[in-house]
Chains A and B, each alone.
Chain A
Amino acid sequence: MSRLTDANVVIAKEIIGRYPRPKSALIPLLHLSQEQNGYITREAMVQLGELVGVTSAEVYGTATFYEMFRFEPVGKYLINMCGTMSCALMGAAELMHHAEHKLGVKAGGTTADGLFTLAHAECQAACTEAPTLQVNYRYRFRVTPTDFDNLIDDLRAGKLADEIPAHGVLAKVRQRIPADKGVGAVAPEDVTEGPAWLDGKPAL
């Protein structure tokens, strides 16, 4: 059950078709796989290798380099607590301490009900709104311990289901290039002349 579904294979092929070389689609496809299963499985990596024409070892090599890919199940909600400079200056360590108590797990752990995974994270590009956290990559700014408690209670009660999808779903909107509008990707070796709008002139 961890290979891509038929519907997702269609999406995968559409994504691969946008790149001059299929391997370029690997990271977006890993996201697609994680969206379907919540994490990346061995079978998924074998299949992605087949789809883009590389070995599963190469897929593994790429996938394990990137922090967002998980190779074991995580909670439905992955809570990434920023701890880099600006957040640290504004009390990130104390907030993490509070979060560990509230959830009853240490950073890196998952709650027994499988709902929450608490994790240390690096700079989340919201430094003026410190301390920050992300739940499945959705921001919460200037988080106080009370804010954190309310967030957890709301997530438990399912109140934020519209805003925050389960772990793995990154963007709820996908790019779609209509067949009649797109230029289409061409392998670099098949391009022999300059773009039409330059009329054969150099581009300076």
Chain B
Amino acid sequence: MSSYPHAPGFIAGDRPKVVTSRFEFTDSYTIERYLATDGYSALRKALAKPAAEIHEEVKSATVLGRGGAGFPAGTKWGLTPQQVWPRYLVVNGDESEPGTYKDRLLMERDPHQLIEGCLIACYAAGLSQCFLYIRGEMALAQERVATALNEAYAAGYVGKNILGSKFSVDIVLHWGAGAYVVGEETALIESLEGNRGMPRLKPPFFPAANGLYGQPTIVNNVETLANLPWLIRNGVEAYTAIGTKTSPGTRMVAVSGHVKRPGVYEIINGTTTFRDLLYGEEFCGGIRSGNKLKAFVPGGGSAPWFTPDQLDLPFEASQVGPAGSMLGSGAIMVMDETTDIPAAALTLTHFYAHESCGKCTPCREGGTWLERILTRVVNGTGTDADLQQLIEVGTSICPGDFPHASNEALGLSAVPFPYKMTTICFVGPSAYAPIHSALTLFRSEFEARVTKRITIPVTAVGAAS
């Protein structure tokens, strides 16, 4: 349960550490520390085997993508068309989902682990150049990764004929410049090509077949790649021994908001429940000031909300999805009983309306409308018609039933994730998600804020006579 002052936000525990094992060292980001703690030994081990064998290992370990969608990395690599060259690796370090931060810590505290993960991926999937796209606002992460890359090039771990083998790959550090939507993989590729970061239509632009410069491209999240050195070093069996069959390994989770001990924890995937995380003594230790839990966002700002009814769900996509939300990027935001729910929903809706890239009309216009209407409601100048208007605008972005959690007190049954959408990417639906959750679960708080419209019967007395 110790925290490390040199790694603000991170809280360690007596659990298996796959990606945070070096965080205890104050010099965890240096190549000296990395080499002294098994660093680059997985790369050596990988280079001694044929590429296909390493790919097979990653596939059979079912390393789930840690960026949000949770797609297995090994399977993703296998989607690239045969004998089409060159292929690229694009590392998604544009972490900006509200509530999320783990990639930033991994880049700041253990950049060599990420670099080694990139090298293993490039080797296994035949990727000849790697672009490490780091969010622009993360100055320290950029400095640490730049320093690590310079060290790794000098020591012969990156570049031409790595460790004397035939394996050659460049890793290029790329700076972002502030755009949430660029976290979406096709928008990331657009941005990397020097354009406005607007998502591309899928199909035809599935990155694995038609990505950067129209070539097969693998886009992987920072945490996903950071898992690879441990996996290759310790083997598939050791990796799958942690967690469950469908969600093996560990996961980094940031818990923020009204808990006693907010922090980033590396937890065991699949078995840890939300109750463990929020109330467990080795984790957050309960809600602040002994308050009651009102609601929590289980998987980043885009995720539909849960209430105490869902506390016993484990960190397992196959259970959280049917329950009406998603695990997303491993970010939990906790609201206690003092929370002003409509105002909390507004901060998130404002975020997505602000971050809309403007490509799809339902998101560009709808997000802004949602924000304006909700602002009116929160400020106390809205009417009951506004609540209906919110739902109508939201339904134009996401037709049909929007996912939400079950609620015993309200007699609601769950609508499973995901939603249908009229936009290319998830930014549009994300603007509606907090409103839908808040309105479904806490409608009375909205109704208390709005004035009821009174219908006055008007007759045209004397008008036409």
Q: Render B136-153 as a binary contact track against A, CB cut-off 8 A, 1 for contact.
A: 111110110011011001
Chain B, range 164-197, C-beta contacts under 8 Å to A: 165-170, 172-180, 191-197
Assuming the contacts A26-B194, A27-B176, A171-B146, asked whether A181 and B159 have C-beta atoms less than 8 A apart, the reply is: yes
Please determine whether A188 and B351 come into contact, CB atoms closer than 8 angstroms.
no
Decide if B13 is an interface residue (CB 8 Å cutoff). Answer: no
Q: Render B399-423 as a binary contact track against A, CB cut-off 8 A, 1 for contact.
A: 0000000000000000000000000
Decide if B135 is an interface residue (CB 8 Å cutoff). Answer: yes
Q: How far is the CB of B220 from chain A (nearest CB, A)?
A: 15
Question: Nearest A residue to B357 by beta-carbon distance?
Answer: A65
Please determine whether A129 and B83 come into contact, CB atoms closer than 8 angstroms.
no
Please determine whether B99 and A123 come into contact, CB atoms closer than 8 angstroms.
yes
Assuming the contacts A141-B8, A171-B146, asked whether A128 and B256 have C-beta atoms less than 8 A apart, the reply is: yes
* Interface size of B in residues (CB-CB distance below 8 Å): 95
Q: How far is the CB of A38 from chain B (nearest CB, A)?
A: 15
Return the contact of B104 from the options A20, A30, A125, A136 (Cβ within 8 A): A125
Roughly how many angstroms separate A191 CA and B216 CA in the complex, as a whole number?
Answer: 13
Residues of chain B within 8 A (CB-CB) of A26 are 194
Please determine whether B97 and A31 come into contact, CB atoms closer than 8 angstroms.
no
Roughly how many angstroms separate A128 CA and B75 CA in the complex, as a whole number?
Answer: 33
Please determine whether A185 and B129 come into contact, CB atoms closer than 8 angstroms.
yes
Return the contact of B146 from the options A19, A52, A173, A182 (Cβ within 8 A): A173
Chain A, range 36-86, C-beta contacts under 8 Å to B: 52, 54, 61-62, 65-69, 80, 83-86
Roughly how many angstroms separate A191 CA and B85 CA in the complex, as a whole number?
Answer: 6
Residues of chain B within 8 A (CB-CB) of A83 are 347
Residues of chain B within 8 A (CB-CB) of A202 are 52, 82-83
Question: Nearest B residue to A15 by beta-carbon distance?
Answer: B172
A107-115, A146-154, A193-201: which lies at the interface: A193-201
Residues of chain B within 8 A (CB-CB) of A193 are 85
* Interface size of A in residues (CB-CB distance below 8 Å): 74
Q: How far is the CB of A79 from chain B (nearest CB, A)?
A: 13
Please determine whether B194 and A27 come into contact, CB atoms closer than 8 angstroms.
yes
Q: Render B87-100 as a binary contact track against A, CB cut-off 8 A, 1 for contact.
A: 00000000111111
Return the contact of B124 from the options A20, A176, A203 (Cβ within 8 A): A203
Question: Nearest B residue to A200 by beta-carbon distance?
Answer: B83
Looking at A23, A69, A89, which has the most chain B CB atoms within 10 Å of its CB? A89
Return the contact of A172 from the options B100, B143, B170 (Cβ within 8 A): B143
B229-237, B258-266, B309-317, B452-460: which lies at the interface: B258-266
Decide if A124 is an interface residue (CB 8 Å cutoff). Answer: yes
Chain A, range 1-48, C-beta contacts under 8 Å to B: 18-21, 23-28, 30-31
Decide if B344 is an interface residue (CB 8 Å cutoff). Answer: yes
Return the contact of B129 from the options A20, A62, A173 (Cβ within 8 A): A20
Assuming the contacts A84-B351, A137-B137, A177-B159, asked whether A128 and B169 have C-beta atoms less than 8 A apart, the reply is: no
Decide if A183 is an interface residue (CB 8 Å cutoff). Answer: yes
Number of A-B contacts (CB under 8 A): 260
Roughly how many angstroms separate A184 CA and B160 CA in the complex, as a whole number?
Answer: 9
Please determine whether A89 and B344 come into contact, CB atoms closer than 8 angstroms.
yes
Please determine whether A21 and B351 come into contact, CB atoms closer than 8 angstroms.
no
Please determine whether A85 and B344 come into contact, CB atoms closer than 8 angstroms.
yes
Residues of chain B within 8 A (CB-CB) of A129 are 8-9, 262
B242-250, B331-339, B368-376, B387-395: which lies at the interface: B331-339
Assuming the contacts A201-B52, A204-B78, asked whether A68 and B178 have C-beta atoms less than 8 A apart, the reply is: yes
Please determine whether A52 and B86 come into contact, CB atoms closer than 8 angstroms.
no
Please determine whether A123 and B301 come into contact, CB atoms closer than 8 angstroms.
yes
Looking at A23, A172, A194, A195, which has the most chain B CB atoms within 10 Å of its CB? A195
Q: How far is the CB of A33 from chain B (nearest CB, A)?
A: 12
Decide if B239 is an interface residue (CB 8 Å cutoff). Answer: no
Q: Render A85-109 as a binary contact track against B, CB cut-off 8 A, 1 for contact.
A: 1101110000000000000000000
Return the contact of A27 from the options B80, B191, B333, B351 (Cβ within 8 A): B191
Please determine whether B98 and A181 come into contact, CB atoms closer than 8 angstroms.
no
Roughly how many angstroms separate A61 CA and B52 CA in the complex, as a whole number?
Answer: 42
Roughly how many angstroms separate A28 CA and B78 CA in the complex, as a whole number?
Answer: 31
Please determine whether A86 and B333 come into contact, CB atoms closer than 8 angstroms.
yes
Decide if A130 is an interface residue (CB 8 Å cutoff). Answer: yes
Decide if B267 is an interface residue (CB 8 Å cutoff). Answer: no
Question: Nearest A residue to B346 by beta-carbon distance?
Answer: A88
Please determine whether B178 and A23 come into contact, CB atoms closer than 8 angstroms.
no
List 5 additional A-B contacts (Cβ < 8 Å) besides A185-B170, A194-B83: A30-B177, A66-B176, A126-B8, A136-B139, A202-B52
- Ordered by A's residue number, 8 sampled pairs between the chains whose C-beta atoms are within 8 Å are A20-B129, A80-B137, A125-B103, A173-B146, A185-B129, A196-B167, A198-B126, A203-B80
Chain A residues near B (Cβ < 8 Å) = 18-21, 23-28, 30-31, 52, 54, 61-62, 65-69, 80, 83-86, 88-90, 122-130, 134, 136-139, 141, 170-178, 180-186, 188, 191-199, 201-204
